[in-house]
Amino acid sequence: MSLAGTTQAFDGIENGSAAKMQPRWRRRLRRRLFPYVLLAPSLLFLGLFTYLPVVRVVVESLHDRPHGTGAAMVSFVGFGNYSKVLADPAFRQAALNNLVYALGTLIPTLVLALAFALAVQRSNRFSAVLRTVFFLPSLVPLVAAASLFFFIFLPGVGLLDYYLAKIGITGPNWLGDSDIALWSVIGLTVWKNAGYYMLFYIAGLQNIPHDTIEAALIDGANAWQRLRYVILPALLPTTSFVVVIALINLLTSVDHVIVLTRGGPSNATNLLLYYIFQSAHENFEIGKAAAATLLSVAVLLAISLASMRIMGRGAQP
């Protein structure tokens, strides 16, 4: 074979190898890009409706725009809105109300949810009926539940005062007394949420190894000792998760306050989210409302991270 023929043969082999490698490279590239193509619509909507509003709130918290003025009157104030929020007595009152509301709601709700879960953890017909009864309030919309409790709390003619009068007790003004109104709202929230959190505790109880409980029985532990030293430590990750979910729900739910009290009387039931609503839509202080929103989210994020850390420790063997 001549030298020219040999060169042509080698060129043909190299071209063939390149032709084979190119489809492999393209297939590999398509395989890597295909998941991102599928995720592109979700990422687009996530960016438009989640991250973009967050960025907008951050920007608005650093600026001030008087009501009725255009974009040209927007001025950069830095952390001035945060200073105004922290110096506002109404914000401090709303934060205190939210703290009392969170503690007053969270503790009895978790206790009731755990008690319900312990009562219905066995699978039988009676437990199935009880689960339905306990879970039913969580299916009622919050506005409908607030409307129902509004008629229950009516002074003198409401359902609660009616039955109290049967035993000779005169009920107070449940929604008009500043010392009682917040606790009335707490009662509504506990009634509505206990059955929902019961489901998480039922799932947590089913994950506890039966050998552990049987070992406690063999060692002579009574029901209270089994609950304290076996069940509650095993349910620590579940409790941490429920606390995070409950706190998010408490900070993002304000419909019942609007229906029942509208923050009154004397700001006794004014919660943080309703304060933000008033600042933005009634007082037209957008920057102040944005700053209050970020402060609330920062506190919620810190509590959530602490609960997640506790959850991670409880999940470790």
Averaged pLDDT, 228-242: 87
Averaged pLDDT, 33-52: 87
Using pLDDT thresholds of 50, 70 and 90, give the confidence band for residue 38.
confident
| Cβ partners under 8 Å of residue 275, min gap 6 | 90, 91, 94, 263, 292
| Cβ partners under 8 Å of residue 94, min gap 6 | 267, 270, 271, 272, 274, 275
**pLDDT tens digits, residue range 268-302?**
899 988 999 888 888 888 888 999 999 988 888 88
- What's the predicted TM-score (pTM) here? 0.80
The overall average pLDDT reported for the chain is 83
| Maximum mean pLDDT: which of 60-74, 109-123, 241-255 | 109-123
Averaged pLDDT, 173-202: 92
Looking at 1.10.3720.10, 3.90.226.10, 3.40.50.1110, 1.20.1300.10, the CATH number of the domain 80-315 comes to 1.10.3720.10
Is the pLDDT at 1 greater than 70, yes or no?
Answer: no
| Cβ partners under 8 Å of residue 128, min gap 6 | 120
What string of DSSP letters covers 192-207?
A: HHHHHHHHHHHHHHHT
Q: Which residue has the higher pLDDT, 215 or 117?
A: 117
Give me the residue spans of the domains in the chain.
3-61, 80-315
Q: Is 134 exposed, middle or buried (0-12, 13-18, 19+ CB in 10 A)?
A: buried
Instruction: For the chain, count helices (H), then strands (E).
Output: 15, 2
